[in-house]
Structure formats: structure tokens, C-alpha cells
Chain A
Amino acid sequence: MSWLHSVVLLPFLYALMIPFLYRYASRIHTGWFVLPLPLIIFIVLGSWLQGISEGETMLYTLSWIPAYGINLSFYVDGLSLVFGFLISGIGALVVLYSIFYLSKTRELLHNFYVYMLLFMGAMLGVVFSDNLIGFYLFWELTSISSFLLIAFWYQRKKSRNGAQKAMLITVSGGFSMLVGIIMLHSMAGTYSIRGIISQAGELQDHSLFVPAMIFVLIGSFAKSAQFPFHIWLPDAMEAPTPISAYLHSATMVKAGIYAIARFTPFFGGTGEWFWIITSVGLITLFWGAVNAMKQTDLKALLAFSTISQLGLIMSLLGIGSLALAVQEEAEAALYTTAILAAVFHLVNHSTFKGCLFMVIGIIDHETGTRDTRKLGGLMSLMPISFTLTLIGSLSMAGVPPFNGFLSKELFFTSSLSLEEAGVFSAGGAGLLIPAVAWVASVFTFVYSMILIFHTFRGKYRPRRLEKKPKEAPLGMLISPAVLAAFVIGIFFAPNVLAHYVLEPMVASVLPGNAGDFSIHIEAWHGFNTELFMTIGVISLGSLLFMTWNKWKGIFSLFPQVYTLNNAYASGIFKAEQRAYSFTNLYMSGLTRDYIQYILGILILLTGGMLFFSDNISFQQIDISTVEVYEILLAAGLVAGALTVMLASKRLTAIIAVGAVGYLVALFFVIFRAPDLALTQLVVETVSVALYLLCLRFLPEFRFRETARRVQIPNLIISLGVGVLITCFTLAAQGNKLFPSVSVYFEDSYELAGSRNMVNAILADFRGFDTLLEIMVLCIAGLGVYSLISLRMREKGDDGEN
């Protein structure tokens, strides 16, 4: 155990205590008890900042299943520390916010905080884990706790649907991640991420390299809501707003980003990695921005905006991975800027998006709606919220003096740098990538303006609102205000952040290039292309926003049927339908069908084996002579059996069965088995008597199978079984591999004192068989007795169903 282990495991332990605190300290809002925990974690992490920024790392291991190389090893470097700060810092703010957001009397607070602490611990585990199995464990725990949190208001159908969708998509992605992890393990021979990274470059030609990469990427994309797995995120907005702010903007959706950044030193520098991440990121960036514009629900708008911004970070990570592929230092530094932009925007996005979600929650809380068509004119009524929204939105749009501006400028710089790229024919995409990025930024600007103006400006329509709007309580405003302060603070002092946080982060994403790397971010960097691009974004964006009412009809031109959501829903629906009708197809409930399947497969498998195996031959060794009377008796057996089959009266059939039984006894006589003959005679007599007894109660054969449709498959299967058994008997007959052990039974008189060998075997050599056979008879007798005499009439409707 170490401090690091306590940091990760403390939330889990604390979660155990929450229900008691809720129960026995019910006068105080449970959130107050939770609040210290993320603060403590934040402070503990803060105490490591100095060391980490000087390039130190920490690794602590706790044995879990050492025999398989599975341990809880936690590793801290720049990348994981920053994520740790985001998780604990925004976690603390969200807890504070939720204290004022969630009612003490109406909500199940203990559930809420238990799930949330579970999530917090899981997320810390994801970012600090060095062992991939531990990483996967925490990864799935985040999925589960997110599922629980989305469906926090489980009585609402939409919440349940959103939770189910998020669960299905992220857990499928998680499985893909697990497959990737197993492939990585079999490639590198270790579960340690650092161990795997240390083999980077050696394994690039391994046949599992690309498959492992693709599985890891699918897992990360599903978690980080990248196209086309983004569809779960807008539906996850049914969660309480503190959760949307925490999980679905600042932390969980960045787990995929974290995974990709973490694996960049291993997979990065290959063409596949660069192309997949960059293109998926750009598509997501564009698609999210387009969709965000048409939303009327503020949270849905923010959800698509989150998707779009995550796409931006993703594409930057893709561009940055080129730094590992190029040789020249100047060129590598250019791509390193992309990684810097990615991690910088990651931090910025967490601040402004968390702030925006909280403000939207305030609006929802104070007016009763989040619909932009109902809201408007709230500026003078909620001035503080308005200011906070303004700060967050303008930062999101990339306008100075907010931190979004800086990271957007860096984004343009890196996308422009691709034009000169010499590897993986990335230069071919030259102008396309900056162009897409630029258009997406314009859209981003438009929806940011929609967010501000449609909510706070325009006409105030009090009748459409459920409540009379007023400014939120102070406690609710603290958290978004703190985040907004960061938004502005980072703009004015970016280099403090850059030195302590971003440099070690970039160093852990690109380990080789970090030696003499220092970052200097400037808000003003002269008149260059990036600045003109931003001016273009602002002017075109403003123009588009002014004319919004004229062209917003364009969205209705897109057919609503062909959306990814519909594809997902109908996919699920069709899968269910198909599975249902397929099961109905073969599960007929009719015993005959099942016996046909069983025997059909038996014939195919065993018969096929007999037919295709060369080792089986038909030989006639040690064959005994055939007498005429034996042939006659055999014919009698066959005739008896046929009579049973063809008899139209049950009495005939029963007598024929008796005849067959007695003929079998006769065969036992011929083949020197006196005990068998005796038993068979007695048993057959009793059996026939039983059949005849049943005759009294069972009806005459009433059904003749006349339909060919039924008869022909029956005939084929039964003939097949007969032929198979015959072939098998013949094949086995000629292939005796070793002599029988039965010569030893000839000592039965000396050993067991019996001259009858069969009886000696039954009672002495193999007495256990007999014991159990007696038991079978007893059970059958008891069964018969209970069937006849115990009649449980069903009482009411509670019979077995």
C-alpha cells in the first residue's frame, strides 16, 4: 500500500460509509460528507506536482494475482497526474454543486453519492493503472457506474433507455479493449503499460500489431463518443446535470482520449494510427458541430458540442503521433505542438464545458425547462449565470480573452503544419484537414452564440416557463464560477499551466522528444495565418448566426430516417426479432423434432467420421460359424420387431414385443449365457404384464402417421441410425486392439469362491455396479409409487409454470 493506492481505493471505501451517513445523519445533506474526499485527493495530488513537473515518476505495486502477472500497479506521470487533477478537482466542484442542485428530501442521495464515489475511484484507477488488467477493471467500473448514474431517475423511461444504450455501446467497446489488451499481452509478454511501451518499435512488424491497435481504438472511440459510436452521449443527458457535467464532459468521455494518449508511444508513428485517429477525430469534430447547431435542448446541444470537441482533441492526438515517425527535429517539434494543443484543449475543455453544464443545470433548475424555444430574455433576471455562460461559450467558440482561444490557435497551427508533412502521404490531406477544421470551428461559433443568445437575449416569455425565474442560490454558482475563473486565468497566465502541467503531459505522450522541450504559449503571436483564420471564424460565424432563421430550415432537408440513432435502434430491434423468430423456428416444443436434431447430428458426425477416417476397415476376424436355425431365429427377431412397428392394434404390438424378448432370451441360451437367459425370461414376462396393465388405461393407437412430410424424414433418420449402428458394429468387430481381460475372471473360484463367473463379477469383482443397480430399481419403484399415489391437485394458479 502507498499513498497512491489510498488515493484510488479511498473513494471505494468511502462509498461503503455513505448509506450509514445518509441514514444516521439525515439532517445534513449527504454531499457535505462527500465533499472533503475529492479535496483531500486533490491536495495529495497537488503535493506531487512539483516532482512530476521536474520529470519524476512514481510506481507502486500491490500484488493481486502475481502468478499471472496481474497486479494493481499504479503509475504517476504528467499525463495521469493531470487527469487525476481533473477528476478530483472537478469532482469536488461537482459535489459542491450537487449539494445545492439535488433536494435533500426528494432524492435518493445515498444512491447518488455511492455511484459517484464509485465512478470517481474507478476513473482514478483508469488513469493511474499501469497494469492493463487493472486498467480494464477500472475501465468497466466506469461504464457500470456511469450506467447507474444515467438511470439515476430510474422511474423515467428515457433515463432507462439512455442508460441501456450507453451501457451497450461502452461495454461493447470495453470488450474490444479487452481483446486488444490480450493481444498486447501476447505480443509483449507483459501487462505493464510501461513494459509494453519500452518495446515500442520492436513489435511494429508483429502480426498482431495492427489488430491490437484497431481493437484498442474501437474501445477508446466507444468510450470517448467518437463517430459512429457517439450516439450514446446525447441520450446520456437524461442523467442529473451534475453527472452530465462530471462524467459526460470532463472525465469519463476523456478516458478514451487518455487511453489513446497513453498508447501513443507504442502505436504512434505508424500510418494506420495517424490516419484512423485523425480522420475519425475530424469526422467527429465536424459531425458533432453540425448536429449541435440544430438542437433545441440545451443539454443535447452541449452533448454534441462535447462530441465535437472530443473529436478535435482526438484529431490533434493523431497529428501529434507523427512526431514519432519523423526524424528531423524541427519537424518533430511541429507535431509536438499538436500534442501540446491536444492536452491543452483537454484541460480547457474540461473547465469551460463543466462550467457550461452547471450553468445549464441552474437554468433548468430555476426555470423548469432547457428548451431554447421556451427560454429567452433571462439576461437581466439571472445576471451571474449569464456572465458565466458568456465566459464558457466564448471560450468554447475560441474567442479571446478566454482559454479556448489559445488552444484553438494551436489547433490551427498544427493542422496547417500537416501541409508540409512528408510521412504517410499525410501532406496529401494538406489543405483538407485545416479546411474541415476551420468549417467546424465556424459551426462551433454558431452554436455557442445560439447557446448565449437564445437563452439570455430575445423576448422574455414568462408564460412558457414552469417557474418564475430568479437568480440561483450562491452555493450553486460557486462551482461554475471557479471554473470560469480558470477559463480566464489560463488565458492570462498560460505558461504557469504549461510549465507545471502541459510539459510533463507532452513528455509522457511523446517520451523520446521530451528532453529539451519547453513550451511557451503566447496569446498574441503576431499577424499570422492562424489569427486570420480565427478572424474568419468569428466573422463568418457571426454572419451565419445573424441569418440563422433564414437557413436553419436546411436541417430539415436531411432525411430523419437515415440517422445513426435509427440505425442503432432498428439494429437492436431487428436483432431481437431475428433471434426470436430463429428460436421459434427450431424450438418447436415437439419432442420428435428435438430427437430428429439429435439423431441427425449423430448420424452426420459419427457417420462422417466412419466415412472419412482411413483407420476403420471392415475385416472378418474370429468370426463364429452360422447355423441355419440361427438364421431362422434372427429372421424371427426381425419379424417380431417389424410387427411391433407395423401393428395397428396395440395388443399385437405388445405381444410382438414379448416375442422379441423371449427370442432374445433364446439367443442368450445359444450364446452360452444362462444367467442372462434366466433374467431375460423373467424380466420380459413382467414387462409384458406391465404393458398389458397399461393397456387398460391407455387408448388404442389412434394416429397413423400418414403425412409424407412427417414420414419421410422419420424414415430417413431411422434408417440412418440403423445403418450407422450396423457399420459401427462391423467396423469394431474386425478391429480388436487387445485381448479381453476376462481370462482373469477364470480365477473366480480361488479369489471369490464362486464357480459362476458372471455372478462372481456381479457380486464380488464389480459389486459396486450391482449396488447402484439395486438403487436404480428402488428409485424406479419409489417413482412408480409416488406417481400413482401422490396426487397434488394444483391449488389455484400456483402450479408450476
Chain B
Amino acid sequence: METVMAFVIGIFFSIGTYLILTKSLLRIILGTSIIGHGALLLLLTMGGLKQGEAPLLGMGAAAYADPLPQALILTAIVINFGTTAFFLVLAYRAYQEFKSDDMKKLRGTEHE
């Protein structure tokens, strides 16, 4: 399963990168979301998949899944959410101010 996941993650990163390289603001934010998901899956995959039960001690299982990557992912999800929310509002404000969501136009007039 890890091998399959490696390819899925690769595809996610490809698509995310492609979206980031486009010039529409919203697509760029969507791209960061996709890359974010890819990163979460990557963290999980690198911790090893399906080795033991869910990390809850009451279950009396012989082995547990590695809890450390899960804790890291949980942190990452929340931070990811915070930044996405901020990006979205920033995009909204930028569009309101500059009446454009074209990155080419948003590069400013002071370009020398």
C-alpha cells in the first residue's frame, strides 16, 4: 500500500504545483490545498500504514499504529486550515482592491 500511496502523493504534488503556477488567484489557493493534502498523506505513509490498531490504549491490542505522525498531522491540519483561511481572505481583499485576480496584473506597476 505504501508504494501506491507514494504514487498518489506524487500525483498530488504534481497537480498542486501545476495549479500554483497558473495565474488565477483562486487556482493558486486550490493548489496549496492539494499540496497540503499530499503532505498529510506523505506524513502518514512514512510512519508506516496499517501496522497495528488505532492508538487507543483501552482496546487491548497487541500493537498500535504509530501515534507520533498522527499528532504531527493533526497539528499540520490545523495550521493548514489557518493559512488557507488567511489566503482566501487575502485573495478576496486583493480582488476588491485591485479588481483583478490575474497574477500578471497583480505584480504591480512599479516594475523596473
- Write the residues of chain A forming the contact surface with B, with a CB cutoff of 8 angstroms: 584, 588-592, 595-596, 599, 620, 622-626, 630-631, 634, 637-638, 641-642, 644-645, 650, 653-654, 657, 660-661, 664, 667-668, 670-676, 679-680, 683, 686-687, 690-691, 693-694, 697-699, 701-703, 705, 714-715, 717-719, 721-723, 725-726, 729-730, 732-733, 740-742, 745-746, 748-749, 755-758, 760-762, 766, 769-770, 773, 776-777, 779-781, 783-784, 787-788, 801
| Given A589-B111, A675-B70; A650-B26 close (CB under 8 Å) | yes
Q: Please state if A673 and B48 are interface contacts (CB–CB under 8 Å).
A: no
Q: Please state if A725 and B27 are interface contacts (CB–CB under 8 Å).
A: no
Q: Please state if A784 and B10 are interface contacts (CB–CB under 8 Å).
A: no
Q: Please state if B5 and A634 are interface contacts (CB–CB under 8 Å).
A: yes
Q: Please state if A672 and B57 are interface contacts (CB–CB under 8 Å).
A: no
Q: Please state if B40 and A757 are interface contacts (CB–CB under 8 Å).
A: no
| Given A672-B65, A745-B68; A595-B74 close (CB under 8 Å) | no
| Given A590-B103, A626-B1; A723-B8 close (CB under 8 Å) | no
Q: A-side binding surface: helix, strand, loop or mixed? A: helix
Q: Please state if B21 and A717 are interface contacts (CB–CB under 8 Å).
A: yes
A-B contact pairs, 24 of them (CB 8 A): A590-B107, A592-B21, A620-B2, A644-B34, A657-B33, A660-B33, A664-B40, A672-B55, A672-B65, A676-B44, A690-B85, A691-B88, A698-B101, A718-B16, A726-B10, A729-B46, A740-B66, A755-B56, A755-B57, A761-B68, A776-B82, A780-B82, A780-B83, A784-B89
Q: How far is the CA of A679 from the CA of B74 in the complex (A)?
A: 7
Q: Please state if A645 and B19 are interface contacts (CB–CB under 8 Å).
A: yes
Q: Which residues of A lie under 8 Å from residue B19 when comparing CB positions? A: 644-645
Q: Please state if B15 and A673 are interface contacts (CB–CB under 8 Å).
A: no
Looking at the assembled complex, report how far the CB atom of B106 sits from the nearest CB atom of chain A, in whole angstroms.
Answer: 8
Looking at the assembled complex, report how far the CB atom of A791 sits from the nearest CB atom of chain B, in whole angstroms.
Answer: 9
| Given A667-B44, A748-B57; A762-B27 close (CB under 8 Å) | no
| Given A676-B70, A701-B27, A769-B75; A671-B6 close (CB under 8 Å) | no
Q: Please state if A683 and B81 are interface contacts (CB–CB under 8 Å).
A: yes
Nearest CB in chain A to that of B103: its residue: A591
Q: Please state if B82 and A694 are interface contacts (CB–CB under 8 Å).
A: no
Q: Which residues of B lie under 8 Å from residue A634 when comparing CB positions? A: 4-5, 8
Q: How far is the CA of A625 from the CA of B4 in the complex (A)?
A: 10
Q: Which residues of A lie under 8 Å from residue B17 when comparing CB positions? A: 599, 717-718, 721-722
Q: Please state if B12 and A641 are interface contacts (CB–CB under 8 Å).
A: yes
Q: Please state if A694 and B70 are interface contacts (CB–CB under 8 Å).
A: no
Q: Which residues of A lie under 8 Å from residue B51 when comparing CB positions? A: 622, 624
Q: Please state if B104 and A590 are interface contacts (CB–CB under 8 Å).
A: yes
Contact residues, B1-55 vs A (CB, 8 A): 1-27, 30, 33-34, 37-38, 40-42, 44-55
Count of B interface residues, CB-CB < 8 Å? 87
Q: How far is the CA of A590 from the CA of B86 in the complex (A)?
A: 21
Identify the 3 closest CB pairs spanning chains A and B, nearest first.
Answer: A722-B14, A726-B10, A780-B82
Q: Please state if A679 and B77 are interface contacts (CB–CB under 8 Å).
A: yes
B98 within 8 A of A: no
Looking at the assembled complex, report how far the CB atom of B111 sits from the nearest CB atom of chain A, in whole angstroms.
Answer: 4
Q: Please state if A702 and B24 are interface contacts (CB–CB under 8 Å).
A: yes
Looking at the assembled complex, report how far the CB atom of B103 sits from the nearest CB atom of chain A, in whole angstroms.
Answer: 6
Q: How far is the CA of A307 from the CA of B64 in the complex (A)?
A: 86
Q: Please state if A749 and B83 are interface contacts (CB–CB under 8 Å).
A: no
Nearest CB in chain A to that of B50: its residue: A624
Q: Please state if A674 and B56 are interface contacts (CB–CB under 8 Å).
A: yes
Most A CB atoms within 10 A — which of B48, B77, B101? B77
Q: Please state if A733 and B2 are interface contacts (CB–CB under 8 Å).
A: yes
Q: Mark B85-112, 1 if CB is under 8 A from A, else 0.
A: 1101111110110000111100110111
| Given A644-B19, A653-B30, A756-B56; A787-B9 close (CB under 8 Å) | no
Q: Please state if A718 and B15 are interface contacts (CB–CB under 8 Å).
A: yes
| Given A671-B49, A701-B24, A787-B93; A641-B15 close (CB under 8 Å) | yes
Looking at the assembled complex, report how far the CB atom of B82 sits from the nearest CB atom of chain A, in whole angstroms.
Answer: 4
Q: Please state if B75 and A773 are interface contacts (CB–CB under 8 Å).
A: yes
Contact of B23 among A592, A679, A788 (CB under 8 A): A592
Q: Which residues of B lie under 8 Å from residue A757 when comparing CB positions? A: 55-57, 64, 67
Q: Which residues of B lie under 8 Å from residue A599 when comparing CB positions? A: 17
Q: How far is the CA of A634 from the CA of B46 in the complex (A)?
A: 17
Q: Which residues of B lie under 8 Å from residue A693 when comparing CB positions? A: 88
Q: Which residues of B lie under 8 Å from residue A749 when comparing CB positions? A: 57
Q: Which residues of A lie under 8 Å from residue B23 when comparing CB positions? A: 592, 703, 705
Q: Which residues of B lie under 8 Å from residue A761 when comparing CB positions? A: 67-68, 71
Q: Which residues of B lie under 8 Å from residue A671 when comparing CB positions? A: 44, 49-50, 65
Contact of B79 among A624, A660, A776, A788 (CB under 8 A): A776
Looking at the assembled complex, report how far the CB atom of A633 sits from the nearest CB atom of chain B, in whole angstroms.
Answer: 9
Nearest CB in chain B to that of A760: its residue: B67
Q: Please state if A758 and B88 are interface contacts (CB–CB under 8 Å).
A: no
Q: Which residues of A lie under 8 Å from residue B77 when comparing CB positions? A: 676, 679-680, 683
Nearest CB in chain A to that of B10: its residue: A726
| Given A725-B42, A773-B75; A780-B57 close (CB under 8 Å) | no
Nearest CB in chain A to that of B97: its residue: A791
Q: How far is the CA of A679 from the CA of B108 in the complex (A)?
A: 39
Q: Please state if A595 and B20 are interface contacts (CB–CB under 8 Å).
A: yes
Looking at the assembled complex, report how far the CB atom of A698 sits from the nearest CB atom of chain B, in whole angstroms.
Answer: 5
Q: Please state if A762 and B26 are interface contacts (CB–CB under 8 Å).
A: no
Q: Please state if B74 and A703 are interface contacts (CB–CB under 8 Å).
A: no
Contact of A730 among B6, B15, B21, B66 (CB under 8 A): B6
Q: Which residues of A lie under 8 Å from residue B13 when comparing CB positions? A: 718, 721-722, 725
Q: Please state if A741 and B4 are interface contacts (CB–CB under 8 Å).
A: no
Q: How far is the CA of A271 from the CA of B7 in the complex (A)?
A: 68
Looking at the assembled complex, report how far the CB atom of A741 sits from the nearest CB atom of chain B, in whole angstroms.
Answer: 7
Nearest CB in chain A to that of B109: its residue: A589
Q: Which residues of B lie under 8 Å from residue A725 when comparing CB positions? A: 9-10, 13, 38, 42
Q: How far is the CA of A715 from the CA of B95 in the complex (A)?
A: 27
| Given A697-B96, A725-B42, A758-B67; A705-B78 close (CB under 8 Å) | no
Most B CB atoms within 10 A — which of A671, A705, A779? A671
Contact of A664 among B37, B54, B90, B102 (CB under 8 A): B37
Q: Please state if A742 and B66 are interface contacts (CB–CB under 8 Å).
A: yes
Q: Please state if A645 and B103 are interface contacts (CB–CB under 8 Å).
A: no
Contact of B93 among A626, A701, A760, A788 (CB under 8 A): A788
Q: How far is the CA of A596 from the CA of B17 in the complex (A)?
A: 10
Q: How far is the CA of A645 from the CA of B33 in the complex (A)?
A: 12
Q: Which residues of A lie under 8 Å from residue B9 when comparing CB positions? A: 725-726, 729
Q: How far is the CA of A661 from the CA of B53 in the complex (A)?
A: 23
Q: How far is the CA of A756 from the CA of B22 in the complex (A)?
A: 43
Q: How far is the CA of A679 from the CA of B71 in the complex (A)?
A: 11
Q: Please state if A673 and B65 are interface contacts (CB–CB under 8 Å).
A: yes
Q: How far is the CA of A773 from the CA of B79 in the complex (A)?
A: 6
Looking at the assembled complex, report how far the CB atom of B62 sits from the nearest CB atom of chain A, in whole angstroms.
Answer: 11
Q: Please state if B3 and A783 are interface contacts (CB–CB under 8 Å).
A: no
| Given A722-B13, A773-B78; A756-B55 close (CB under 8 Å) | yes
Q: Which residues of B lie under 8 Å from residue A701 when comparing CB positions? A: 24, 26-27
Looking at the assembled complex, report how far the CB atom of A786 sits from the nearest CB atom of chain B, in whole angstroms.
Answer: 10
Q: Which residues of B lie under 8 Å from residue A673 when comparing CB positions? A: 44, 54, 65, 70, 73
Q: Which residues of B lie under 8 Å from residue A776 when comparing CB positions? A: 78-79, 82-83
Q: How far is the CA of A693 from the CA of B37 in the complex (A)?
A: 21
Q: Please state if A746 and B66 are interface contacts (CB–CB under 8 Å).
A: no
Q: Which residues of B lie under 8 Å from residue A620 when comparing CB positions? A: 2-3
| Given A717-B17, A719-B14, A726-B6; A660-B71 close (CB under 8 Å) | no
Q: Which residues of A lie under 8 Å from residue B81 when comparing CB positions? A: 683, 686-687, 777
Q: Which residues of A lie under 8 Å from residue B40 when comparing CB positions? A: 664, 680
Q: How far is the CA of A379 from the CA of B1 in the complex (A)?
A: 105
Q: How far is the CA of A723 from the CA of B96 in the complex (A)?
A: 38
Q: Please state if B4 and A631 are interface contacts (CB–CB under 8 Å).
A: yes
Q: Please state if A697 and B85 are interface contacts (CB–CB under 8 Å).
A: no
Q: Please state if B110 and A801 are interface contacts (CB–CB under 8 Å).
A: yes
Q: Which residues of A lie under 8 Å from residue B112 when comparing CB positions? A: 584
Looking at the assembled complex, report how far the CB atom of B104 sits from the nearest CB atom of chain A, in whole angstroms.
Answer: 6
